[in-house]
Structure 1
Amino acid sequence: MDSSSVAFALDDLQTRNARLVRRAQQLPPAGARPVTIAGRVGGWIGPIAQTAVADLPGVHIEPEAVHFTAAPTARLSLDAVLREVALALRDAGCIRAWRDELLDVMAEGQTLARIERGAVRPLGLLTQAVHLNGWSPDGRLWVARRALNKSTDPGLWDTLSGGLVAAGEDPESALLRETFEEAGLPAVALAAHGPLRTVLRMHRRLGDGYQVENVLLSDCVLDAGVAPRNLDGEVLEFRCLAMPELWDMIVRGAFTLEAELAILDSLRHRLKAAPGGVAF
């Protein structure tokens, strides 16, 4: 860290982080009911989505909860039931974007099925998001600006790379995949990246439902001369920020909520590790 570029102190980070955590911890939407998957509690479904799936095989709506199970009489496995649920949600306009990507359905610590990615928020299902903070050797941070055609937070700034863990994928593999797709960095460039850690579990009301998401984060110091380049069209530009510029962007609200939480977490770790806890 370059102590000549003092920008903030640990108290500044903790104060801002506390405000962000309050934004990231919201109650379920009004009228939402708990969701069970094969008898295990695993989500929250709003009134419009409840109406959309009410008559489907394997869906049982009770006053206290909405239950999703396999439907043997209709010869539908749990995966098949959830496929029909996702299609019904799409037809009812509850899904913002159909991705043709499957995510694991998790409840009470168990992976029970798979479902279309676009259906997870209308059902308030738990997702896992991995993020990478990529540092330069001189203590600057690489950040990425989201493409303007992204369905969520278009044009805002983000961590160097990040995305959801796909069905059947482990978080480490997801981190390497996302970093290659979004930043063009092969696994060898991340050989020394730190272990993934949980920043927090988000609970947030959004336009397309309820976001329940574990934010997982790793830090990596990239070799001098390494510059990211986007491969999947989801990043508009990259910048490598010195601390004063980074803090200015944080204060201006230039980052997504998840990205700012992840960046603040890394800054706290680095600040605490600095000799004497000196701000940088």
Structure 2
Amino acid sequence: MSSAASPFLRHIERCRNVTLPAGRLPLLHNGITIGLVDPTCLSWMTDPACADLLRVNGDHILLPDGENLRQISTILAQQERYVPFKEWFDVRSSEGQIIGQVDRGLIPVFGVEASGVHLNGLVQKNTGLHLWVARRSPHKRLDPGKLDHLVAGGMSSGLTAKETVIKEAEEEAAIPADLSRQARHASTLHYAMSRPEGLRRDRLYCYDLLLPEDFIPHINDGEVESFHLMPVEDVFQQVRDTDDFKFNVNLVLLDLFLRLGMFDKQDSSILAENLHGQV
């Protein structure tokens, strides 16, 4: 790998910094692992309030009924075991079947897979391809002030990836639905990462949207501080040389750079293998 491409590997390694199960206890439903629970939280599971909802069996935790996840989330929030987002996310089996819902704040504690969307807002100018970049609000709970995509967000319960793109596009950047519906699914990324809040096992649905030159995004929900339109080459350099972007945004941008052919053949093959390899 060339010296120009090797700095991009650090972003992949940062988001894949854990080997599962990483000392965590499997959370089982119908014999399938749906989560990996931090063992320091076992006392939460054996608390009388949760005793009828979960079964702790030494080397694993059994969830008899997926519907119990909502009640567990509510109980643990009332006990101030975690800070809830008050936003429900679907917990799915490996086949995609919805098992139940969990509060977003409990996801890294239980180590369940979470899904989200990222939208590359692209503008083709005479001078070349440009990308809309957002700066996150300094008041965000996670990664305040970091650079981000024009549109990005978690998939709330009951929504598909495309529906989430349309919802988040309107909420975050005032992009009308008739425009955001044109977004094209480009790829899906996976990673497992140890973070201060716990274990993140994320599935990112990556979309591209070609926007008109005269389109200007507007701050709509306070989650973004500002928007900036940058040549894609400048974004490439910033990802390569800095950690200014939110950790997982770097992965989605690297995927974009690979699809745009911004690396030579050998570098592209190595980076793609690391980016898309099995977690």
Q: TM-score, normalised by structure 1?
A: 0.83
8 Å contact kept, 1:52–1:92: no
Structure 1 residue 104 and structure 2 residue 90: aligned? yes
State how far apart, in whole Å, the 2-side matches of 1:13 and 1:116 are.
41
1:62 and 2:57 correspond: yes
Give the stretch that moved more between structures: 208-217 or 103-112. Answer: 103-112
State the Cα distance separating 1:271 from its structure 2 match: 2.1
Partner Cα separation in structure 2 for residue 54 and residue 35 of structure 1: 14
Deviations 1:205-244 (A, max 9, x none): 1222210110110111100110111211100100011244
2:101 aligned residue: 114
**Aligned residue for 2:272?**
none
Instruction: After TM superposition, list the pairs within 5 Å mapping 1:134-213 onto structure 2.
Output: 134-138=121-125, 139-198=129-188, 200-213=189-202
Match of 1:225 in 2: 214
Aligned to 1:241: 230
Q: What's the RMSD between the two structures over aligned residues?
A: 2.3
The alpha carbon displacement at 1:245 in A equals 3.1
Uncovered stretches (5+) of structure 1, i.e. residues with no partner: 1-9, 71-77, 275-280
Q: In structure 1, what is the equivalent of residue 26 of structure 2? A: 34
Which digits, 9 at most, give the CA deviation of each residue in 1:188-217, with x for residues without a partner? 22343222420x211011222210110110
Q: CA deviation at 1:28?
A: 4.8
Match of 1:23 among 7, 14, 19: 14
For the residues of structure 2 that align with 1:254 and 1:52, how far apart are their CA atoms? 36
- Conserved 8 A contact 1:49-1:89: no
Cα separation, 2, equivalents of 1:256 and 1:195: 21
TM-score, normalisation: structure 2: 0.84
The separation in 1 between residues aligned to 2:229 and 2:36, in whole angstroms, is: 39
**Does structure 1 conserve the Cα–Cα contact (< 8 Å) formed by 2:148 and 2:249?**
yes
User: Is the 1:28–1:205 contact (alpha carbons within 8 Å) kept by the matching residues of 2?
Assistant: no
Q: CA, structure 1 residues 266+244, in 2 after alignment: closer, same or farther (shift >3 Å)?
A: closer
Please name the residue that 2:274 is paired with: none
Partner of 1:73: none
Q: Could you list the runs of 5+ residues in structure 2 that have no partner in the other structure?
A: 265-279
Once the two structures are aligned, what percentage of the paired residues are identical? 24
Distance 1:13 1:67, change over 3 A: farther
- 1:60 partner letter: R
- Which range moved further: 83-92 or 164-173? 83-92
Give the Cα separation in 1 of the matches to 2:111 and 2:39. 12
Q: How does 1:128-139 map to 2 (within 5 A)?
A: 128-138=115-125, 139=129
Separation in 2, partners of 1:188, 1:69: 43
Distance, in Å, in 2 between the alignment partners of 1:48 and 1:92 is: 16
Separation (CA, whole Å) in 2 of partners of 1:271 and 1:230: 32
Is it true that 1:264 corresponds to 2:254 in the alignment? Answer: yes
Output the CA distance in 2 between the equivalents of 1:27 and 1:129. Answer: 22
For the structure 1 residues 92 and 15, does the alpha-carbon distance in structure 2 shift closer, same or farther, using more than 3 Å as the test?
farther
Residue 41 of structure 2 is aligned with which of 41, 45, 49? 49
Match of 2:270 in 1: none
Residue 273 of structure 2: aligned partner: none
Q: For the residues of structure 1 that align with 2:3 and 2:121, how far apart are their CA atoms?
A: 22
Corresponding residue of 2:71:
84
- Counterpart CA distance in 1 for 2:214 and 2:70 is 46
Counterparts of 2:72 and 2:80, CA distance in 1: 12
* Aligned-pair CA distance for 1:159: 0.9
Contact 2:5 2:263 in 1 (8 A): no
Q: Secondary structure at the match of 1:176?
A: helix
* 1:59–1:68 CA contact under 8 A, matched in 2: yes
Which secondary structure state, in structure 2, belongs to the residue aligned with residue 238 of structure 1?
A: strand
